[in-house]
Chains A and B, each alone.
Chain A
Amino acid sequence: MNQFWIAVIAIIVAPIIGGLLAGIDRKITARLQGRWGPPIIQPFYDLFKLFGKSRIATSRMQLVWIYGYLVFMITCLVFLVLKLDILLLVFLLGFAGVCFVLGGFSCKSPYSHFGANRELLQMLSYEPVLLLTALGIYAQNGSFMISEIFNRPEPLLASLWPIFIALLVILTIKLRKSPFDISTSHHAHQELVKGIMTEYSGPYYALIQLTEWYEIVLLLGIIALFWANPLWVGILIALAAFVLELFIDNIAARMTAGWMVRFSWAIGLVLCILNIAYLYLMKGVS
């Protein structure tokens, strides 16, 4: 019963934190560009306004997939806060991404199809690294359970720092920040209109925003696991990573999809594989 209430509180609190982080994102971005920027609670105004708009749907399947995206993302978050299996969490995150892509493919708009194709390329570039992150945690802990990470006295960051760097690259791709905002972007959306989100409007677009807020909290939570003991250091590291992403977003231009896959595989996969190989070799020696 205790676990049930932890999950309920996480499901209620996570979008509030995610929305505030999105507001801080817009504020810091505005200050970096020499503007004043909207109030911190602006994303909540946007969300409630979108919930109050009329419902226009281009295809019914699209709505099924968008609810699937939200439900899988919430399930991932529950896995994280209940300290369950991290490998299963990565698979569920993959399912959430697949739901989003299928939602983009389920209507006839060419912009939506372009966005969905590029989202598939994004998944191609981040999924292997996320999987290897779970394997790296297994190599270090001997267990996929997140609760085991909290039982260790020394932080994961000490031995898994190459994987941590790869995860920072993945965070940029997952948050759709420059230079990886190829499937959709938050402001410069004239190239693909709005990419994969073109065909969603009103309350359904609000659901996507809500899912993105869950996603921010989930990803920062995974980054915080790298210093789980004490957890407040991990949370500080996660917030620092978030601010770093904002800086990268503001100083970088959008790159091509092919470059993104090459970059994330060349940097991410190599760092992850070297890290895991080193861990196994050290275990074999000692």
Chain B
Amino acid sequence: MGIIHTSRIKSPWIMHFDNSSCNGCDIEVLACLTPLYDVERFGIVNMGNPKHADVLVITGPVNYRTARVLKNLYAQVPDPKMVIAVGTCACSGGVFHNCYNILGGVDKVVPVDVYVPGCAARPEAIIDGVVLALQKLAKAQGVAK
């Protein structure tokens, strides 16, 4: 099973979901996919489909409407899966945390593996977050360096 464990670390396909954010973090996530940062050299590919994804990259605070969608998407990602909360809003609710329609951070709805803070989170920080998630996955599978 060694080759499958190695492959999991080498090919994280991400799916990007925006709860209800100001769009700042989304632009930074998309900036990661441009030729400047070129995350494809680490095997990261942006998938539009939860059934093909390994890593859920979630931005924005969760509100009552998107909580249902987020749970549905999380259930559709096949195991093993990782969740990365990108941006302050996704981590804790950020400036929206007292709003009447906001539940709070992503961890109110689905289990989060890595928190990437920042308003907006920089592309370097997002790449670091994905790498950290993969290290966590490797440690869980006992193939860590």
Contacts and interface: CB of A to CB of B under 8 A. Distances in A.
A24 to B, nearest CB: 14
With a 10 A CB-CB cut-off, give which of A47, A51, A53, A56 has the most chain B CB atoms. A53
A278 interface: no
A54 B78 contact: yes
Interface residues of A, number: 34
A55 B40 CA distance: 26
Contacts of A277: none
Given A189-B48, A201-B52, A49 B79 contact: no
A197 B52 CA distance: 10
Interface residues of B, number: 27
A45 B10 contact: yes
A121 B60 CA distance: 40
A273 to B, nearest CB: 40
Interface stretch (B1-9, B93-101, B103-111, B119-127): B1-9
With a 10 A CB-CB cut-off, give which of A37, A47, A52 has the most chain B CB atoms. A52
Given A53-B79, A199-B51, A205-B52, A38 B7 contact: no
Contacts of B79: 53-54
Given A45-B7, A46-B11, A54-B79, A35 B35 contact: yes
B130 to A, nearest CB: 14
Interface of A: 26, 30, 33-39, 42, 44-49, 51-56, 187, 189-190, 193-194, 197-202, 205
